[in-house]
Amino acid sequence: MKKHILFSVFVIGLVGLFLSSCKSYDDDVTALKQSIFIQDVENPGLPIYSEWGYNTFGAYIDRAVFVSDNNNFTKIIVNSDTLHILLKGNMNGKFASIKFSMKGFPIVNYDNLNILDKRTVNLKDSKCIVVLTQDKTSKVLKIIEGSFVFKRVQNLYVDKSYTKTIISGVFYFKTFFDNEPVAISNGRFDLGIGYENFYNY
């Protein structure tokens, strides 16, 4: 049964991205910038875990759903050797973002992101900083424990031309809100990273 569900999800994704062979290259690239949200029936409110470049992410923050949308664009920013992954979406109908900053990744361009494939980053490490933004207020989170896992990083080609890199994986951590411990759980991401959302400066 699970295989049938996964196959159906795969087909829906492909139909959404490549509905017709008559579509132009520009049409396909534009489609790849949109989010394809397929709800996870086992985790209501979150997108399924996928590795197809659906441009979605989600997690439970305590009991609230933090999830991607088409109004905010996820970005990767590299400063020197520090990789910043900025997940921008909404929580309880309002803008929210989480920025993961990880030292030790001097990535020059988005086609070099494949060095992250199958890497696990310990978020409690002193080389990592996690910042939560809500209602225009940002705060650095004190991490009790947690990981950011790049389960798969792959290059995407459209009409045999390299288009972008897809990064997929999971994240979870425990932190404090107002001195009370809180768990961020069931985090997942499936992101297409290309010219328009990768910055190195």
Task: Give the pLDDT confidence of 190-201 residue by residue, as tens digits.
Answer: 999 999 999 999
Q: What is the pLDDT of residue 135?
A: 83
Q: Which tokens sit at 125?
A: 């490490």
Q: Write the pLDDT tens digit of every residue in 98-144.
A: 999 999 999 999 999 999 999 999 999 999 999 999 988 999 999 99
pLDDT(28) > 50: no
What is the tally of structural domains in the chain?
1
| Per-residue pLDDT at 26 exceeds 80 | no
CB of 180 closer than 8 Å to CB of 142: no
- Look at residue 10 and tell me whether its pLDDT is greater than 70: no
Distance CA(17)–CA(40), nearest Å, equals 20
Tell me the per-residue pLDDT of 56-72, one tens digit each, with 9 for 90 and over: 999 999 989 999 998 88
pLDDT digits (tens, 9 = 90+) for 133-181: 998 899 999 999 999 999 999 999 999 999 999 999 999 999 999 999 9
Q: Structure tokens of 106?
A: 């001097």
Residue 38 has phi, psi (to 5 degrees) of: -120, 115
> Residue 122's beta-bridge partner residues?
147
**AA letter at 15:** V
Asked if 175 and 184 count as a contact pair (C-beta separation under 8 A), the reply is yes
Residue 108: strand, helix, or coil: coil
What pLDDT was estimated at residue 32?
Answer: 55
Classify 32 as helix, strand or coil. Answer: helix
| pLDDT given for residue 20 in this prediction | 40
Say which DSSP state 63 is in: T
Element (DSSP H or E) covering residue 28: helix 25-32
pTM of the model: 0.84
Question: What is the percent of the chain where pLDDT is above 70?
Answer: 84
| Tokens read off for 75 | 């970005």
Q: Whole domain around residue 167: which residue ranges? A: 2-200
Tokens read off for 45: 């409110």
